[in-house]
Amino acid sequence: MAPHAKRGSKKGKPLLDTLPELLVHALAADQDFILCHETDEDTGRQKIHVMTGQFITPCMLRKLIGQAESQKDEGSTLTSRSWKPAAKSRSMQ
């Protein structure tokens, strides 16, 4: 089994500086990029969760898109674009 990835240090880069790097890495590796905000109901403490990997199935994606579209009047947004991954250079092959 592969070793678990270590989480970033709390004293490292601010999250806003790390997010673009994580997104670029996920796109290059053909992975999902999930960003979620959570507020603990008991304490009110807020957390951000950032996940990369293979999580979303095509069926799950259609359901999430439908949910976002049905909640537009409540402030949900959905943005979709065509995506063409950058061509790998010959030196990398």
Sequence-distant (≥ 6) Cβ neighbours of residue 39 within 8 angstroms: 45, 46
* Model confidence band, residue 91 (pLDDT cutoffs 50, 70, 90): very low
Please give the Cα distance from 79 to 93 (Å, whole number). 33
Region at 42 (left for phi over 0; alpha for psi -120 to 50; beta for the rest) = alpha
What would the pLDDT profile of 3-27 be if each residue is shown by its tens digit? Answer: 555 565 556 889 889 999 999 999 9
Listed by start position, the domains of the chain span 15-71
